[in-house]
Chain A
């Protein structure tokens, strides 16, 4: 037997009995960050490929969602900070060893680029909005941005990829948390972010050709995601003891139902089957279901990653003290 217990009462709130420093705020932020990456990526890609006819929504209107979705994500990120008045401290330094520092600066790049993407397609996508500017100085800005729409789209692509992959790298750089500590998390979050982006387009685009195109794209992304998830499981279940412990939580432990049921089955496999049926035009009536499931699955992935990851650890003490009983002593 080998048993290690704390014999002085330690109940440091976010650490004991299991670490819980990050909650829904961070899962939502990581999800919306990935979604923003998908939105930026596909609006830029469709523009560069001249798909105005086939995918008019993506080319002209989609990009407006990027700053909106990202701002929502930033808001929940801000909610999570414990020392809110000092948020500006992210921007008085650059810390080359800290992924969060890279993230803070990537966001500074993302905002202006999404705005440029919006401006460069505002007249074609939202003529009513753009007409408010006719004859004013800002209209000139619109015209300049329009002329530069291709270079803007070219710039948006690497920034979108950086944003999408960073949300995974952020977690994977924590050597102290065995579940996160794999380079596969970066690609997994990137592909999942792109997939939720594609699903969003399939959900709201009107034109049939566009829905079909993005159903096809999303099916490809889901297949890729399944491969990465399989690799992640191989990686965890062939690792050292702390990784094996993390794997056990997914393979029979307390996260099994969430991981296999809510994420793999509902979030990946079922939408993949639905999309396949849709592509072969056998299942029109359920067309909205697949993208909704993909979006939910993307969020469930972030929740599992954030919740399970922080609980996995190198050190695990039992506590002799029931902290709830101790509270009553006051």
Chain B
């Protein structure tokens, strides 16, 4: 399986939300829906506080429970990569995959009725481009690339820096990494 990863530097992210706008524009996400979002996590007791910004989206899990639960094969790993896509022509709108995602990263696309989600901009990746959010970020805190290639920027960063993933205890093996 070709293993793509997104690496996001929480020390650089300022929570501006440009990634959210970039995604909406690039993917023409319908009004009122979002495929990515920013979380502000605050820890500590005043005045001793620390804040972390995280741009979040589908984690394109290696062990994608949304794919396993889909009764029709509409949810699938794209071309033997870990990129999780939905085929609208197979989707019944049963919503099993929404319940199956521990990260609440999937949404029903209205009014079409099929499931919509982050695609890691596979249409751009195919052309060798970065996903829209990654290429838009004004602080350049996001990176995208292949984990299979030990010399790729993402592999380098994960070797050099401390990082975490969201809720690894779900067992989904998420592929959006946060540098801490």
Contacts and interface: CB of A to CB of B under 8 A. Distances in A.
A92 interface: yes
Nearest to A177: B99
B43 A314 contact: no
- Candidate in B40, B90, B92, B167 with the most chain A CB atoms within 10 angstroms: B92
Chain B interface: which size bin? 35 or more
Contacts of A320: 40
A317 B105 CA distance: 13
A86 B91 contact: yes
Given A175-B170, A175-B171, A313-B104, A21 B39 contact: no
Interface in B54-92: 65, 68-74, 88-92
A80 B99 CA distance: 14
A10 interface: yes
Task: Give chain A's interface secondary structure class.
Answer: loop
B166 interface: yes
A7 interface: yes
A14 B98 contact: yes
B174 to A, nearest CB: 11
B95 interface: yes
Interface residues of A, number: 49
Interface stretch (B1-9, B109-117, B120-128, B142-150): B109-117
Contact of A2 (B43, B96, B113): B43
A11 interface: yes
A15 B73 contact: no
Given A84-B113, A86-B90, A89-B72, A315 B96 contact: no
B134 interface: no
A90 interface: yes
A97 B113 contact: no
Contact of A89 (B39, B53, B92): B92
Given A3-B41, A83-B113, A101-B71, A12 B92 contact: no
A174 B98 CA distance: 10
Given A82-B113, A98-B71, A8 B20 contact: yes
Interface in B128-165: none
Contacts of B107: 12-15
Given A90-B92, A100-B96, A314-B102, A13 B15 contact: no
Given A84-B92, A176-B100, 9 more contacts: A14-B98, A14-B107, A83-B112, A89-B72, A90-B71, A98-B69, A314-B102, A315-B104, A315-B167
| Shortest 6 CB-CB contacts between residues of A and residues of B | A82-B93, A83-B93, A100-B71, A82-B113, A176-B102, A83-B113
